[in-house]
Structure 1
Amino acid sequence: MTPAVVTLGLHILDVLGRPVTRIPPGQEVELLEEITMTVAGTAAATAVDLARLGVRTATVGALGRDPMGEFLRSRMTAEGIDCSGLTDVDGLQTSATILPIRPDGGRPPLHVIGASAALTPALIPWPTVERARILHMGGTGLLPGLDGEPTVHVLRRAKDAGLTVVMDFIPTKDPAFPAQLAACLPHVDFLLPNLEDACFVAGTDDRREAIDWYHGHGVGCTVLTMGADGVSVTPRGEHERLLPAYAVDVVDTTGCGDAFSAGFITGLLEGRGPVAAAELGLAAGSVVATGLGSDAGITDRPALDRFAARTPRLTVPA
């Protein structure tokens, strides 16, 4: 299979429970309505959603030699994803997160970086990557073997091979991170963070100032997800477009950004411009918010189209 998209970065096992209103003291038991285990991570969850939307997808990452890694590989293979780019590493557990889901859908993550730390440029299967049309770089900030100059080299090589580069990142409190990310931006066509993360890295609370910061460092287009406030789409040198969110009852926000990325990338592959691609991303992210876990709600492309046609929208943000 020649992939249309390669996702590169975080591959995480999520264990989620809902609704969590408190952490009980001592050995006291707190009963929940639902617990599940899913493929997650900014590369892995996006790959699953892409595959369900009918996109030929390969993924690249690092797993531990443990049952969690076996679970991720088997589930992703069952989705039709090319997992030949997943490397099993010794001495580290598969990256994992425990997520207590609050009644409002919020989820404070308890995370172990684990094997994701072992993902380095040497593990990237370039013959597979260079046959794709799009590289999705997912998880910059939590990839210590790639973050910084190695990521710059990876993105530059992808651009030199003619790929469109899409990136999402997870900011850290490391004071060096903004400069590391800024060095990547000239090689990024579409940057897809959430607004909170985007503002944190840019050092501002103002959305337009944040957009200017990213454009000033060379990114091609900012696509900022804003939860119930929708999405901001701003190609460099053009005016911002604001798209309204879908009106859904939120169960869990885990994976909504990854689903948005999958929908957006699918739109690009279909020849849509960034605004129209973001509309498809909005639908995908909104569907995932209606269930528990990163893979909730997305089944196939026709179902997503039906959701978009039938679901009301909220007010366009200011």
Structure 2
Amino acid sequence: MAVLTAGRREHGPPVRGAARDTPLAIKRRRLFWPFVAPSLTFLAVFYIGPLLFGIWTSLHKWDGYSAMEWNGLGSYRTLVDDPFFRTSMLNTFKILVFVGVAVFVLAFALTMVLREMAGRRFVRAVIFFPHIVNAMVFGVLAGFLFNPGGLVNSALSWLGVDDPPKWLGSDNVFLLIMATMVCTSTGFYVAILMAAVDNIPAYLYEDAELAGAGAFRKFWHITLPLSWDVVTVCAVLWTISSVKVFELVLVFGGTFTTSGPPIETWTSALYIYRNAFTGDHIPQFGVVCAAGITNLVLVAVFTALLRRLMRRDPVEF
């Protein structure tokens, strides 16, 4: 009995921390900072540093030339009272919600159609292609199609419509921008979702068909649960990208007017640009930085809430 006990002590579990002293562990610890330091330096110089400077600037009045003047939260109060900022935030929220819902509904529908389609790789590439096209192309295309003498109005006149809508007017151009975003963004999320759906075993769908499940039931009980992690990532990506919409609005609204995009089309990113770099008035970098910090906080809050609402136990197969 004494011998067995001694054997257990001799061949028992190693002392905690002993694995850290192996030659391989020592080499890994030595290589940690040489590998991590460049990334941390890049992050500190180009992200953390500008962020801290932006926060500091948002608490001051500054035109970029004279000395900074302490303003506290005055810049944030200016944003609350600015109708242009409220309009830009409302438009950003419309893009986040309405365009996002349309994009994901179409992406899910196309994913289910393409799952069993012959030549789906080619179709997936065709759908993805608009996402990589420069926004200037869509601005030129919009002018060709929707100008008063463009192709769309010509077709409507041929059909007997005497007073076609002013597609590029301030009342309609933002709807046109949102429709363009749906067309250009859907393919990107279809490609990501299809990568997840391709990994789902085919026998699960075969069993569902034998049980009499239709297309919607197969999507709801098989496709969506087994690709939920990817759907969550797509939702976070859309939340981040929707707040940064800039060039499409600038091209659509600024190509056809000399004064730039109309106020009705401004997003939060365009608000920052127009108040900082257009030269129409003296820059107020305190207000601009306050708008940027507000956007950052909203993205962080929306992302955290979204991840919490979409959190669920993983489904294994």
TM-score (norm 2): 0.19
In terms of Rg, which structure is larger? Answer: 2
Report which structure shows greater RCO (CA 8 Å, sep ≥6): 2
Q: Which has the higher strand share?
A: 1
Q: Which has the higher helix share?
A: 2
TM-score (norm 1): 0.19
